Amino acid sequence: MNLKFIALAVSLFAAASSAVCGQSLHKNDNPVYLDENQPVEKRIEDALARMTIEEKVRILHAQSKFSSAGVPRLGIPELWTTDGPHGIRPEVLWDKWRQAGWTNDSCVAFPALTCLAATWSEEMSALYGKSIGEEARFREKDVLLGPGVNIYRTPLNGRNFEYMGEDPYLASRMAVPYIKEVQKNGVAVCVKHYALNNQESLRHEYDAVVDDRALHEIYLPAFKSAVQEGGAWSIMASYNLYKGQHACHNQYLLNDILKRDWGFDGVVISDWGGTHDTEQAIANGLDLEFGTGTNGLYGDSKNAYDAYHLALPYLERLRDGRASEEVLNDKVRRVLRLIFRTAMRTDKPFGSLCSPEHYEAARRIAGEGIVLLKNDNSVLPLDPETVGKILVVGENAVKMMTVGGGSSSLKVQREITPLEGIRAAVGKDVEVVYERGYVGDITGNYNGVVTGQDLSEERSADQLLKDACAAAADADAVVFIGGLNKSAHQDCENSDRYGLELPYTQDAVIEALAAVNPNLSVVIVSGNAVAMPWVGKVNSIVQAWYCGSQAGTALADVIFGKVNPSGKLPMTFPVRLQDNGAHALGAYDPEDRSVEYKEGIFVGYRWAQKYKVHPLFAFGHGLSYTSYGYGKAESDRKSISSADSLVVSIPVTNTGDVAGKEVVQLYIGDNKSSVERPVMELKGFRKVYLEPGQTEKVSFTVRPDMLKFYDASKGDWVLEKGRFTIYIGASSEDIRSKLEFDVK
């Protein structure tokens, strides 16, 4: 039986006999706040009226690392939060980050959100949300700390793997189904990190200086969709500053934009330790404070939670009249609303953990997110019937990747590494040999969760290279599996990467292998773009992301053609760091406390196209084992007014020999505008399944709101008349058909 509900029943019984503030609760009362037939807002008002001022303040801050207190006297339950966003974090101690030592808190790790974004499939996003929501529910969590939707501004951001790429439209579309499905479990999402947390260097200290247009066109849309379309019940305010105020208590971001303009009725939760100022925390929109340093984040102290900004310091101000009860009640209503939506709901499902369905979901999502970047001479897929000996090289073939990276680190029930996945896929007739090739990072622990892998290596770098090359000369096919990992300054929270290059000696190993065996495929496991100086020497390249529990199975599915790759890049892979706007303009400095987003709206492909910088691999790029032919795009009308829409259609045919899924992408550009606009911007996409020879007519509706830009002088979105171009293609750089229309 659900422990929380036993607790609820016990405390209700106690409450029934005690005199309470506001109203008493007698034995025969049927209090409105407990009556699920009553409208939620009425129940909130009823509960609010019964609460003392101390109780009100008490639900606005943490009582442990991941929980807040609820109202025990009234049987209003605690709120339990959990990371997020790729699986359900193992239990830590009440006051410490150390493991609690539970044995029932292992989970399924789903692919990292970059991989989910790379599926370009709302269906996969819904499957992800459903599955992780069920795991959260089974573990009795009320708030899942995710998804993350910060925009990929620089490939150095250590946390990009937790986000959904560089494009606001793609991130919006991919976030919404995840949110809706999680919340169907009676578990709230907590969309993070709002806002402008686009780097980890000095994450608590930098002030993001961004113009209003870039703020509204690039950095906010995914949050706005999460709130308005996804109906997110909570949002996590980020560590950084904006306009001189920390985002956790920021008048502009929280009160003005989120709560007033977007009508957000949920809870603003501080990122752990992101609250710094009591007056601002009270006045500037924070509702629920977590992780502030006094609680043992960096040391232990007694009754530390009372010292939180939204605890005794707030109470003192309420008592002496410096703080108003009106503002307090708004925060309390929000937190109660969240509790009613989650912890206190009795009609929610029970969830499930580590089920075969969840493993299958992880495998499917990974299979649809893995991106085939290059495949000259059809090196892939490998045919287990004809390939006698496969050499696998590289540390990431054997290293577990679910441990590390910061708060998203997990304790998995199982994780199939790439080497294990490949071995399991081929059976006995194929010989699979392994060579390390290089040594990267042999550690494997996070907050007391250890992988238990022994990755120590005695051989010198030279010897490792020689051994790998000798084995490569003797193999029918070579698969190099490297990339980044989850250690500091790689793909990891709280630090950024030092550069775009692959770490360790990987470039040299890849070059040497390519010289020995042309049947080489390079698999990059990372959440970020990496430089590929060897790109011209390698026939086949796969971007495999961090795929969680099913990493090896899903990769093997693609390598052997069981799954025809259909992932597309959710971010631009630049040739050099300087090909990215922020870096070209010197507008990223890990030691700078004022980070000026000088590139404005020209992020990712918007920058590459404006300056005609040829990317290594373009936004939206991804190959398949089949080929797709695009016909001519046609629209049902040549012009629209601000009140109409038009439908554009294009026939897409599978012109190859195997079935596959193609992501048909629609971009729109304004031919002439009073302000500078990107050449084109993503405004639609559809993933279609096609049998060999099959054609489908893919249609998109173009609405006037898709054509607007944000006019900073008006503080509003503006539609200008004139001619626009629709571009439809297989990537932002592979446009297959265009047509123009007028806005009259």
Q: Which residues bind ligand BGC (CB under 6 A)?
A: 83-84, 145, 192, 271-272, 407
Q: How many CB atoms lie within 10 A of CB 742?
A: 14
Shortest distance, position 271 Cβ to ligand BGC, whole Å: 5
Nearer to ligand BGC, 145 or 477 (CB): 145
Read off the tokens for 729. 């293609």
Nearer to ligand BGC, 191 or 365 (CB): 191
Q: How far apart are CA 348 and CA 186, in angstroms?
A: 6
Shortest distance, position 107 Cβ to ligand BGC, whole Å: 15
Shortest distance, position 445 Cβ to ligand BGC, whole Å: 17
Name residue 188's amino acid.
A
Q: How far apart are CA 637 and CA 585, in angstroms?
A: 41
Shortest distance, position 396 Cβ to ligand BGC, whole Å: 24
Q: Exposed, middle or buried, 382 (CB in 10 Å: 0-12/13-18/19+)?
A: buried
Q: How many CB atoms lie within 10 A of CB 514?
A: 19
Q: Exposed, middle or buried, 241 (CB in 10 Å: 0-12/13-18/19+)?
A: buried
Q: How many CA atoms lie within 13 A of 256 on its CB side?
A: 6
Q: How far apart are CA 345 and CA 313, in angstroms?
A: 32
In this structure, the strands spanning 143-145 and 520-525 are unpaired
**Closest among 90, 119, 89 to 547, alpha carbons compared:** 119
Nearer to ligand BGC, 338 or 623 (CB): 338
Name residue 522's amino acid.
V
Shortest distance, position 98 Cβ to ligand BGC, whole Å: 14
List CB contacts of 307: < 8 A, sequence separation 6 or more: 292, 294, 301, 313
Element (H, E) at 722: strand 722-731
- DSSP secondary structure code for residue 232 in this structure: -
Q: How far apart are CA 565 and CA 563, in angstroms?
A: 6
Q: How far apart are CA 120 and CA 617, in angstroms?
A: 17
Nearer to ligand BGC, 338 or 416 (CB): 338
Shortest distance, position 408 Cβ to ligand BGC, whole Å: 7
Nearer to ligand BGC, 240 or 624 (CB): 240
Name residue 367's amino acid.
G
Q: Which position's Cβ is nearest ligand BGC?
A: 407
Q: How many CA atoms lie within 13 A of 487 on its CB side?
A: 15
Shortest distance, position 407 Cβ to ligand BGC, whole Å: 4
Strand intervals (E) in 162-230? 188-194, 207-209
Nearer to ligand BGC, 272 or 573 (CB): 272
Nearer to ligand BGC, 272 or 534 (CB): 272
Q: Is the bond preceding 193 in cis, omega lying within 30 degrees of 0? A: yes
Selected catalytic residue, list 142, 271, 287, 557: 271
Read off the tokens for 304. 């530390």
Q: How far apart are CA 246 and CA 606, in angstroms?
A: 29
Q: Would residue 320 show up in a list of annotated catalytic residues for this protein? A: no
Shortest distance, position 82 Cβ to ligand BGC, whole Å: 9
Nearer to ligand BGC, 145 or 218 (CB): 145
Element (H, E) at 245: strand 245-246
Nearer to ligand BGC, 192 or 331 (CB): 192
Answer yes or no: are the C-beta atoms of 354 and 549 closer than 8 Å.
Answer: no
List CB contacts of 84: < 8 A, sequence separation 6 or more: 144, 145, 146, 147, 190, 192, 407, 408
Nearer to ligand BGC, 84 or 129 (CB): 84
Q: How far apart are CA 709 and CA 673, in angstroms?
A: 10
Shortest distance, position 525 Cβ to ligand BGC, whole Å: 22
Name residue 421's amino acid.
G
- DSSP secondary structure code for residue 90 in this structure: P
Q: How far apart are CA 409 and CA 346, in angstroms?
A: 31
Catalytic annotation, residues: 271
